[in-house]
Structure 1
């Protein structure tokens, strides 16, 4: 009898311990087939038939775990690696093409919010991504491409150097608040650790604050990346409203880059509309960026249009068809850079 009681007690303890901690393998496999075209200045247009990764969602695999420490406190970790479905290699993400380059962090969460340590998306991205057009589609949303689109030399004018924000940061500390009356926010800091260069491993501070109440969501974000040659700063205001029959997202961003001789600024905006039709969704997005030099003279005008149709076969598998067209023009009206892509694909979540 005692042996039976001991056995039952041990089994119960083991079940309880198992329930208090968990490790999950997860990921996304996404690929598309189609065509890309590109043209720089007066060069001939290049057209290429392609099989590519990351049309709707970024392909990746990862492991995440959590343990209940008691008193509402949990220990958490995430290890996540980007994968190129078209060739099976590790995909370059935020200046890294090795290891768990999408995320590698450990942290604690509870009533106080959450603390993370490691490589991760910065606090600025927590506002930038969810408010992006086309559900932040990796390969077809035009925002990131347009806002980071440099332009080639044209009509005796020098090339314009441009860049978008650095989404993932190494050696990072992040704190995210709990939701209080609809308000939430986060702050992240990356010290650079003495390896900062003109183009990589910046000392960075990033933050955002957000308010969500029913169909309305609004927020403001800030990120400063300090390189050896200057600072790249981003200020972002975003909003979204869901009417049920349609959802609108929009953002405006100001970029100031002191790494460019004399300084350079860009005023940018994007907007998107998503319309559901049962198991299908039609999404349209547009993005714009106007860059000025230190004298306040506009030197480049970039814009992009995106269109995507999504059909959910199941909760985990979606088919999609999409196109994206972006171009940048110089102050004399000449086309410096233009590119387009269209294709059909499948995205599977596991």
Structure 2
């Protein structure tokens, strides 16, 4: 019989996105769900449950923490700087086979954010349902504004037909993206084998049983991919149960990684640009390592980074000696010190390891 141990209570410093320069100390138990931390922050800020706030979110180094049932420990891959943001409302109509209801949303929220919020309020599992607008399935990592969803638009909630097993794998064999010297530059060819057409953004190279003589490319475009939780479908045979991801390539985008290797080593890269005129850049598939978790993130070239203090786009930014960038006004409110470095030091996290970028066609 195992003995239960009491969860340790600590204090976390949380930045408030709507008030750059302000942070509040929030008590938190090591293994409690993020949901309770978000509710505690809201209470400390004196927010009212009057319907004006539709979604409350917590971010780790600018990356939204989607699963509120997980603890902070799961998201340490992304770093340690916590930011809280409350989203105000516009209304759209959600239509499911069971009911139709109105929903308040923020155009900047991602499809994944919306699905998680609906799950919390209505019980529709994000794993069993998908959102469709004007006949097109909405991709999890894209903001609603990209689909021209406006006030009073109707979005359909459609049940997903799923196969295979559920849940992330405990580890995954994949290219060692922390080795930036292993990047290979490949030219484009009109005579490329079937299934090797690349897109702007992220391209996952996979082995499939239907093409044993060459790898196929699963085009993922832009956004965040949790490698162990993503679904890959062969572009040739259209099956997902005969395909294995091997490495990643990039083209005409900027990208970065967040990962933890099986030995516990943490790897986080800075954004790297791959211009449209560059060759397709791919990490050497022969240099494999075992990842406990690996998150691949890409965005359009020229898209402004979000300031990790206020979470707003940085059309102009202040670059510090450490390499981190913020709005000038946000930076000034921190008395000329880097809040990201300060938070990393206060949380005793591993030092960041800087990486490089690649591309594909």
The two structures have a TM-score, normalised by structure 2, of 0.24
The two structures have a TM-score, normalised by structure 1, of 0.25
